[in-house]
């Protein structure tokens, strides 16, 4: 089965072609240079860039996969969650292609895509059910149990900011640029992660939930104290120390709540997905936590598959298409910015 998948959920225009779960091409046209100067995603600019680029990215994905649009068996698209004006561009393009080439359309949940990014790297044998996934991106932080390939339940999620959003906001406070997650973790490598005291959120509580707005505010206060309310600029050493301390606390929070979820759901494997899954310290700490349980940690072998990309949407679409979960009324399909992974596909 040849699948062409589109993801325009936020600020990357991405199109991939896959043969079953093997990704043949995965083009990502990043808009970082557009949004970087504003310190975050500007929806109207994102929409315009998606519209300008989508046809070229479709063409490139087909060219790289050495396939024509007429050879595609199934078209797939991210319908949500994400930025409404961005999602719209991909949904409209996928509807158009599906109608022109008279092939079925699969609507994919973006978070299911992040989870399925693991299926390109690992075979069916390695991914034994049930799985527990920690999905950590710029918009979401959730622990999801998968009982079978098309049935998910959320064990816990963030009460406020997402993990990636917290990394981005702290990076911005430290003047590191956008998107800040990877820049912050690079800075943290040379920092003292115990240089300052920051509280781990919800630490005494048994409930499985995340909260990042408290750490973010604590970092803001800390920076004010260090700089005497802006009288001095932060030194490089101070930036490294704040970055390392924040990263240690944010990751300790993610790992502690993941441990609670492991105890509750007894998974066979633990999957990591989303942009923050690229973080090496997170991988290391999760592996350490999972060791006594004898549970393997899996994450996409290619870093590109952690961040937003249409390859993961094509893989998710394969499992949905195998079950014939096609969109029944193509004209009626609409983007859903707040779609939940529990509803799978409309
Ligand atoms: O999944 P993703 O590419 O897009 C969304 O669906 O949101 O995730 C992007 C997020 C950004 O917030 C980015 O700063 C974060 O992932 N990120 C990281 C790292 N690399 C990317 N956060 C922490 N450490 C990293 N190495
Ligand atoms: Zn994402």
pLDDT above 90 as % of the chain:
86
Decide: 244 and 229 in contact? Cβ < 8 Å.
Answer: no
At 198-220, the pLDDT tens digits run: 999 999 899 999 999 999 999 99
Nearest CA to ligand 1 atom 3: 307
Q: What is the per-residue burial (b if ≥16 Cβ within 10 Å, else e) of 195-207?
A: bbebebbbeeeee
Q: Which residues neighbour 319 within 8 Å (Cβ) at sequence distance 6 or greater?
A: 116, 119, 149, 150
**Three-point CA angle 329, 332, 336, nearest 5°:** 120
Mutate which of 82, 276, 285, 299 to test ligand 1's pocket (most atoms within 8 Å of Cβ)? 276
Tell me the CA–centroid distance for residue 288 and ligand 2, in Å: 25
| Residue 118 pLDDT class (50, 70, 90 cuts) | very high
Decide: 201 and 217 in contact? Cβ < 8 Å.
Answer: no
At 250-305, the pLDDT tens digits run: 999 999 999 999 999 999 999 999 999 999 999 999 999 999 999 999 999 898 89
| Residue 339 pLDDT class (50, 70, 90 cuts) | very high
Determine the angle formed by the axes of helices 236-265 and 280-290, rounding to 10 degrees: 30
Predicted structure pTM score: 0.94
Tell me the CA–centroid distance for residue 276 and ligand 1, in Å: 4
Pocket of ligand 1, beta carbon within 6 A: 10, 137-139, 164-165, 167-168, 179-182, 185, 274-276, 278-279, 307-308
311 pLDDT above the threshold of 80: yes
């Amino acid at each position: 089965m040849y699948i062409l998948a589109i993801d325009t959920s936020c600020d990357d225009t991405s199109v991939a072609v896959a043969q079953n779960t093997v990704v043949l091409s995965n083009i990502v046209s990043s808009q970082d240079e557009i949004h970087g100067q504003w310190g975050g995603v500007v929806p109207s600019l994102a929409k315009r860039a998606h519209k300008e680029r989508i046809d070229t990215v479709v063409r490139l994905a087909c060219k790289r996969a050495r396939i024509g649009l007429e050879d595609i068996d199934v078209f797939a698209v991210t319908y949500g969650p994400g930025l409404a004006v961005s999602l719209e561009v991909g949904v409209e393009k996928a509807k158009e292609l599906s109608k022109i080439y008279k092939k079925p359309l699969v609507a994919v949940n973006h978070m299911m895509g992040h989870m399925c990014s693991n299926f390109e790297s690992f075979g069916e044998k390695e991914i034994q059910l049930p799985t527990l996934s920690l999905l950590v991106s710029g918009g979401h932080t959730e622990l999801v149990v998968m009982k079978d390939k098309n049935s998910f339940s959320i064990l816990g999620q963030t009460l406020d900011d997402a993990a990636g959003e917290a990394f981005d906001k702290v990076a911005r406070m430290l003047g590191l640029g956008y998107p800040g997650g990877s820049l912050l973790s690079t800075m943290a490598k040379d920092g003292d992660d115990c240089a300052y005291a920051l509280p781990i959120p919800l630490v005494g509580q048994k409930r499985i939930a995340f909260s990042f707005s408290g750490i973010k505010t604590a970092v803001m206060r800390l920076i004010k104290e260090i700089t005497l309310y802006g009288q001095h600029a932060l030194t490089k050493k101070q930036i490294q120390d704040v970055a390392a301390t924040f990263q240690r606390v944010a990751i300790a929070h993610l790992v502690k709540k993941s441990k609670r979820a492991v105890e509750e759901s007894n998974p066979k494997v633990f999957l990591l997905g989303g942009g923050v899954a690229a973080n090496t310290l997170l991988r290391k700490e999760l592996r350490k936590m999972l060791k006594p349980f004898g549970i393997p940690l899996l994450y996409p072998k290619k870093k590109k598959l952690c961040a937003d990309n249409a390859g993961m949407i094509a893989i998710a679409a394969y499992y949905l298409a195998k079950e014939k979960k096609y969109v029944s009324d193509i004209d009626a399909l609409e983007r859903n910015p707040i779609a939940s992974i529990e509803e799978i596909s409309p």
